[in-house]
Structure 1
Amino acid sequence: MSSIRSIYYIARADFLERIRQNSLLVILFVTLLAAYIFVPPVDAGYVTLNLDGYRGIYNSAWIGSSVAISTTLLLSLLGFYLVKNCIQRDESTGVGQIIASSSMKKMYYLMGKLLSNIFVLSVITGVVVVVSPIMQWVRGEDRTFELWPLISPFLFLTLPFMAVVAALAVVFETFHFLKGTLGNVIYFFLYLLFTAGSGALAFGPQIIISAMQKDLLLIHPELPGSYGMGILFQREPLHWFEWQGVIWTFELLIQQLEIVMVSFVLIAGASVIFHGFREKGYAKRKHELAMVEITPAYNKELDSQIKYESLNSRCQAATLSPVVFKDSFWALAIAEWKLILKSASLRWLIVAAILFILPLAVSVSESSEWLVWPVIWIWPIKLWSGMGNQDVRYGTQFLVVSSRRYVILQLMASWISGIILTCMVTGGMIIRMVFEGDLEHLLYNVAAVFLIPSLALACGVLTKGWRTFELLYLIIWYLGPLSKLPYLDFLGTHNSNGDLLMMNSVYLLISLGLLLVAYQSRKRLGQD
């Protein structure tokens, strides 16, 4: 019973802390928006689930299943970044050291964190379930409400996946090298592999889609049995058929239950690796302190030394030199740049040097084909994400606020340091474009040199953290330069569409807007 009580209190305390955070409301809003988009109106110019030119009528079964698929795919990404800070928060606030001094077992602690993560993601899922009948009524094709076909996809598809996401968030925090940016990037690519291979996973969204295809082929056996999922633009509206939902057999339920069991197995393995909150050298320092013998003579000598230093430290105010203000902006910018580079290891600098030299040896087209170009623009993500939040991270924000002309000087110095950092890594590519006379790509990259640091600075100032920028930039980077999606491709890797000057002007205006947002947010902090 004591173990259950320990797990309960850990989960309860962490859950209550999380539901007070604004990030939960943001993720909830985005999830609801995605669910709304995934069930488009009848007269919409796009579809999200196309089964050989057919879709199901908007009854409880189709609404519940389609919304459950979108919720599963979206929360598998956003939910991870939402809950991946439970152990780090205890470590930074000092709660971890209190837990380390208690008899709490690591297994109980991690299990409590797992349950807390599951509860948080379940709350978001529950709100989506509540909103789903409203969506069915708004779409108006079939307003007959059926509870089980509506909620069963959430129970047996979404929630099991949320358990695995919650477990992975805890596991990533137990490994030192996966705690920060590297772990965020690795999970993002794991998510891309999951979405790309979801059609081959028998326990994923394919369960529902296969049931839809099976029932459709019973009505129209001549169809090839293919499907498309995503934002698909159709010239002609889809035909519709009536679908009654997935028949959840005992084998399917056991299969989905095994996914939940995987999450507990992951936590059991993480508890073996997790080192707790004891600092390195803790036992050695404890032994050294225990060897110190406090004697009356030692106390007397220490008291005399303190009195001597106190008398010698006194001085008259008249003897102090006058305060001289020196607004050395470039010295401040260089100091900010050095502060950013402090988090860069020697290996990071070596790879950055290689990425600078490599584009000089190959043409711009070859760099784009070999993905050298996109890789260059993902490598500094860890250093970018520290812009605008380092003072909060290290607890010096109130000290910095007290300085003269704090808002404009500190903000611009941080922005300039980010531009210098960007030029350090991407400079080789820009030089190559100058040599080749590639004006189009050169203008895109110059605009990106201003755009990305501006985005990082605005995210850091607004959220006072680094995960928001990392997630947002990874999505933009994947959809834009890597997938060549127009308007998000800030590097211009797609074919020219004649909008060269307009797009670069838009990117520069966005950079200016992001700087103004960061300025207003930092100004409010200075006034507070």
Structure 2
Amino acid sequence: MSERPAETDPRRSSAGSTADATARVAADGSRLDAVVAIALSDLRQRSRSPKYLAVALLVAYLAQSVTAGDVQLFVAGDYTGVPTAEWFGGFAAVVATTLLVLGGFSLVRGPLARDRAEGIAPLVATSPVGDATYLVGRWLGYVAVLAAVTAALALATVAGFALHGTGPLSLWDLVGPFALLTLPTMALVAAVAVCFEAVAPLARTLGTAVYVFGALLVVSLVSVAPVPVFDLLGIAVVRDSMLADLPVDVSGLDRLTFRIAPPTEAARFTYHGIDWGVVELGSRLPILAAAALSLGVATLAFDRLGAAPGLSGPVSRVPNPLARDRDDAPTEATDAVATDRPDGADDPATTTVDRLDRLDPGTPRLLDPRVVLAELRLGLRGHRRLWYVAVVAALGAQIAAPLGTVRGLVAPLALLLPLAIWSGLGVRERRHRTEALVFTAPRPAGQTVAVWLGGVAVGLLAVAGYVARLGIAGETAALGALLAGLAAAPALALAAGAWLGSARAFDTAYLLAWYLGPLQAVAPLDFVGATSAAPARTAAYAALAVGCLAVAVLGRRRP
């Protein structure tokens, strides 16, 4: 395996792009030019990332599902619309807005942290570009990315209507809801992403967790509110316009019955689209105001000269239970090179070669148990005290609580604790710039397997009490489901980090699956068997673990 050449490293290219962007506007000092240049540099960097190919595939799949009838929207319980342009536009816009609210944050977040990691922040700090200008430029770049995804969804919806729709092709009815409902919400998502990157406790995994749970809460509330004050998803606008076209008196109907479900037989009605008036357009103003407020908070929080993003003063001292204590976390590599060489010792290069020649020939060719133990120690060391207290409390609750409570609540909650370790499995080398050292070591495949086994061991430790009780009770099916899920999670983290170069995609996917599966009883996402332990699902997660591990090995071997 060879070291990645610096000239093709997308991170360094992006760092240079940011520096060039600020340099180009230094002469005239135009704020607008600076904002646009920073946004364009962000777009150029993102165009090199392979993860946006996956986004394009997801866009195509979503549009196909909505327009081909794989899922249906039901209004007032038993009614669904004739597949006209108006119906497709409103339906697809609500689905797209919901999914982008949940996933868009992780899709765009990262350039602020990248600038700091690559040493570009000091260059920006000494340029004439102010904090507000720099952050607005970043926000505009985020908005542009989300707007591009929104435009792709709109175009895919148009194509889907041409294939599966009925009636005349009305471009405004198909695209208008995306422009007036989805785009303002994307402006808010982008602003929140900038804000979270600027506030130190929210800059990494904890911020992703806070955002995902907050987004799920907001989505749940606005979905059931009769008259939502903050119509983030545009549900109220679309729902009320659909209820107005129902062929029955809606005064006595439950206005909350607005659901997406698998297709079934239902009465159909003709939907005539949204009548865009003052009320409908005015419902977007609170969202734009919230975006402006988030950018204002980000400007106050942003410390361009600091070593890490965040507020100075009390907020910077807020403990992050998912963060590592860097001062107390010496690595195995640090321990290995910290010994002094005695006087008269041989040249270091000669000594190193001699030691390599004297490696124990009995060492396993694929997997060294010492590496697995080192990975386990590395995962368990350096956390804040609150994390260790939470692990001990979770283990005590797993032993003392009734088994049903442990299965449905205690064990799922305990599985939030390994996220602090799993999140970084695939990106540690990139984050700490040790790729040239790690990826040229012997037995790279065995090294990846050792990292995975270390992650599995951490997960087993978090639910050790539950595992023991399942074994004592003889519930082998539930135990198998739990072990398959614990194997799949770190394997997915490794694969996502190796190919996407970021932990955010895994963080978001894991938190959504954790909430919808074990807690909300969505069977396909119940990766730990909290509600049921179907053998087919256990086998599927075991296969996912093997597949993701193989993909991770290939990704980490890339030149």
Q: Note whether the superposition's TM-score is higher than 0.5.
A: yes
Equivalent in the alignment of 2:260? 230
CA displacement at 1:318 relative to structure 2: 8.5
Output the CA distance in 2 between the equivalents of 1:506 and 1:70.
27
Shift of 1:340: 2.2
Query: What residue in structure 2 maps to residue 289 of structure 1?
Result: none
Give 1 or 2: higher helix fraction.
1
Runs of 4+ in 1 over 4 A off after TM superposition: 217-226, 311-322
- Compute the displacement of 1:467 (Å): 1.4
Structure 1 residues 24 and 518: CA distance shift in structure 2, 3 A: closer
What's 2:21 paired with?
Answer: none
Supply the AA of the counterpart residue of 1:368.
Answer: R
Alignment of 1:390-401 (within 5 A): 390-401=428-439
User: Given the alignment of the two structures, is residue 70 of structure 1 paired with residue 95 of structure 2, yes or no?
Assistant: yes
Does the 8 Å contact 1:59/1:141 carry over to 2? yes
| Aligned partners of 2:239 and 2:258 also within 8 Å | no
Alpha-carbon offset, residue 28 of structure 1: 3.4
TM-score normalised by length of structure 1 = 0.85
Structure 1 CA distance for aligned equivalents of residues 30 and 532 of structure 2:
64
Q: In 2, are the aligned partners of 1:39 and 1:48 still within 8 Å (CA)? A: no
Deviations 1:31-75 (A, max 9, x none): 33223312343xx5x523344322222222111111111111111
Determine the structure 1 residue equivalent to 2:267: 239
Residue aligned with 2:412, SS: helix
Structure 2 equivalent of residue 286 of structure 1: none
Q: Contact (CA 8 Å) 2:398, 2:463: kept in 1 or not?
A: no
The answer for the alignment partner of 2:138 in structure 1 is 113
Please identify the structure whose Cα radius of gyration is greater.
1
1:101-500, aligned counterparts within 5 Å?
Answer: 101-142=126-167, 144-199=168-223, 200=225, 201-202=228-229, 203=231, 204-216=234-246, 225=255, 227-234=257-264, 236=265, 238-279=266-307, 321=354, 323-326=357-360, 327=363, 329-369=368-408, 371-405=409-443, 407-495=444-532, 499-500=534-535
Contact map agreement 1:363 1:432 (CA 8 A) in 2? no
Deviates more, 1:243-252 or 1:508-517: 508-517
Q: What's the offset of the Cα at 1:321?
A: 4.6
Alpha-carbon distance in structure 2 between the residues aligned to 1:504 and 1:262: 43
| Contact residue 11 and residue 112 of structure 1 kept, 8 A | yes
Does residue 42 of structure 2 align to residue 34 of structure 1?
no
- Tell me the distance in 2 between the aligned counterparts of 1:469 and 1:126: 25
Shift of 1:459: 2.5
Q: Residues 225, 403 of structure 1: CA spacing in aligned structure 2 closer, same or farther, 3 A cutoff?
A: closer
Q: Is contact 1:52–1:225 with CA below 8 Å preserved after alignment?
A: no
Q: Which amino acid aligns with 1:4?
A: L
The secondary structure found in structure 1 opposite 2:274 is coil
> How many pairs does the alignment contain?
485
SS at match of 1:197: helix
Identity %: 27
Q: Is the 8 A contact 2:379 2:421 kept in 1?
A: yes
* Inter-CA distance 389–159: structure 2 relative to 1 (3 Å threshold): same
Distance in 2 separating the partners of 1:422 and 1:367: 16
Match of 1:97 among 122, 131, 135: 122
Partner of residue 307, structure 1: none
Q: Is the 8 A contact 1:91 1:277 kept in 2?
A: no
Which stretch of structure 1 is more off in the superposition, 171-180 or 86-95?
Answer: 86-95
Which one is further off, 23-32 or 347-356? 23-32
Following the alignment from structure 1 to structure 2, what is the Cα–Cα distance between the partners of residues 18 and 519? Answer: 24
> For the residues of structure 1 that align with 2:56 and 2:74, how far apart are their CA atoms?
23
State the shift of 1:162 in Å.
Answer: 0.4
Q: Which residue type is aligned with residue 288 of structure 2? A: V
Structure 2 residues without counterparts, runs of 5 or longer: 1-28, 309-342
